[in-house]
Amino acid sequence: MEAELLNECMVCGKLVDQAQGIHLLQHFICNECEQEIITTDTGDEHYHFFVERMQLLWQDLHLERVTP
């Protein structure tokens, strides 16, 4: 019996198989959200939702750069 490795998507909060998404640092984004982020127009109000959710990630990326 194989244990499935589930990850919580940082955008939608769903638990998905790790093969169904991408890891960015210690965060995880499911394929669905990744596609939505890519295809959502910056003028779309949905885009602001993504930006808010992704702010944690940007913060971490920034921290990675200043503290090696």
Residue 8's H or E segment, with its range, is strand 6-8
- Tell me how far apart the terminal alpha carbons of the chain are, to the nearest angstrom: 40
Closer residue to Zn ion in complex, CB, 12/51:
12
Q: Least CB distance from residue 11 to Zn ion, whole Å?
A: 4
Residue 50's H or E segment, with its range, is helix 45-66
Closer residue to Zn ion in complex, CB, 4/67:
4
Closer residue to Zn ion in complex, CB, 37/60:
37
Q: Which residues bind Zn ion (CB under 5 A)?
A: 9, 11-12, 30, 33
